[in-house]
Structure 1
Amino acid sequence: MKTILIVDDEKDIRDSLEGVFTDEGYSVLVAEDSEAALVTLKKGLPDLILLDIWMPGMDGIEMLKLIKEDYPAIAVIMVSGHATIDTAVKATKLGAYDFIEKPLSLDNTVLSVANALERSRLIQENTALRESVERDFTLIGHSKAMQDLKEDIRRVGPTDSWVLITGENGTGKEFVARNTHLSSLRVDRPFIEVNCAAIPEELIESELFGHEKGAFTGALKAKKGKFDQADKGTIFLDEIGDMSLKTQAKILRILQEQSFERVGGNELIMVDVRVIAATNKDLIEEMKEGRFREDLYYRLNVIPFHVPPLRERKDDIPLFVDFYIKDFARRTAKEAPGIDEA
């Protein structure tokens, strides 16, 4: 149950809001001024504060400053009966989610609170996801090759340039792709991974582009494809060297036009995606043998990243050992054993 703290010097407003939000299923706390609110905050933190601006003693703007300094994760909605545009702008700059004028519309207030709490949930979820990804997809290594690769990611990540990652199986190409996405301006947008080698040829078009209801036997409803899901974000085409020439041609069209039709459909769907591709194959050799399209190769290979195998960076081996021992200890809640360097 989410908790709301209502801070207002008018008792009838406190009582009215308390009744409404209690009926909406929230746990409600009330305070008649900023000083009483600070005492309440020391006992436990609410998820959201409805904060009046004009109150005796410390006004709502000063209270907002304190809240955002000490409790930045709490959502705050400002309330006022006679505020100016300057006051509203100031409150927004200080971190208020919304600014509501009295007399209050209870429906609008309930909606604003719900939206603010949903935004807080998404921020917390995204932060937790980013921390998880950063932990689980750490690029390990202090060797020159890895330092150069990390620097390339930091440099290229914030751009929208497409990236082609090469390297043997098990070298961490997915880690490089995810770290590139985390360094980009699309970090809060989807990262959609497609293992091109794992999808049967007869299903890959449906997986990538989606399909309409009735497009084929078993298509009981319309389905978005991976490119659709990745709109405004990043799509990672892993093992792209395993795609058939037919599928390569369709991929090339998407990359050129940023548009496609779903299987069984004729509506042109526009997308905005950053493409990161990876392969364990020598695509130059694949082109010579006629198994990979030259135009697709040059379309993808805007920024090349190569991930060297561990045997070529033996100085990184102790770091891998230490990382995985500590990771195992964290996952199993056991103390990490020491390493005998002998």
Structure 2
Amino acid sequence: MLFCALWLNFKKAQPDLVARVHLQLLLVQDGKLYGRYPILAVIIRAARLTEVIMRHDILKNEYFVQLGQIVINMLKILCTNAAWQRRKLGKILQDWRAIYSQLELAFRKESGEGSSISNGENASAGILKHILIWVEEQTYWIAHRFLILGLQRKRHLKMTVGDGSAKQKGKKRKDSPKDLAREARIPPAISFLQCQICLAEGLALLLAALRNELIVLQSPSPFNSEHERFLQHFELLQKACIPDLISYPSFKESTSYARISSVVMYNYFKDAQKIAKEVKSSFLNDPDRSAELRILEQVAEHNSVALNVISRVGALDPSLKVSFEFIHHPYFATVVVKRS
């Protein structure tokens, strides 16, 4: 992806403020990338379309002009420091979502949705289809970057809790991520993301289960309610509908009934570990992604063992201490179980 490739190369250099300013000037000159390539041509190439498309009349539409400007703004944001990026990315997400909606409406119109015409998609519809896919990819990458920057700010946070008894089971999930990962049609990149999702879900449910079963975690903040904290973290993503239909009530419903016994029964950590093992062979030519998968697998395995220890010993041993530490991965915590 365009922004992902740019950011990875930029991150390795770790430039200072002056270098960032110079990079902004070099990247975009007179509305062109490096002062040579029209932004629309860059978008067309990134969306895997041929440059012949540049002569098509559909590119004269206002939403393509707006898309080009948003890409320019995005390139400039990526040249700033982490704090400024975090501030700006959440806002520009809404612009990307708005452009996506405009392109989607145009695609439906061009493809004759709802009409009696069924002669296949025309050239305009084909162009819009490719651009829609590309815009969606960029939007989700921006959302991912926005969340990662937030996690970086909180990576040193630790939460230590004592263990209690497990009594009530939570809701059974509808689909098993490990089963979904086996689908032959799912690309390795999606399986990689699914592995991360499983780890995040496992940690979220474990925290919820500990909170539900232990009074020590239920002390309310004098400044912010849980709902307010949810909005502080995710309101900008909600406005951009990433993901669709997410809300605080749905989050509350999914965590209110979590218990240690149910977290063990539907062990997301095992799912993450299995997916990481299965998808590793797909990234043999990508050292960075391979290294990331090894770490994710390590965290998942460690957390799965820790979860079983909590379930087996915790209810009978009030001296058991559970902490969440970033000793292997900067964003996915490792569950550490000790006896005081």
TM range (shorter): under 0.3
Bigger CA radius of gyration: 1
Task: Tell me the TM-score normalised to structure 1 length.
Answer: 0.26
- Bigger share in strand: 1
- Please state which structure has a larger fraction of its residues in helix: 2
Q: State the structure with bigger RCO (CA 8 A, min sep 6), 1 or 2.
A: 2
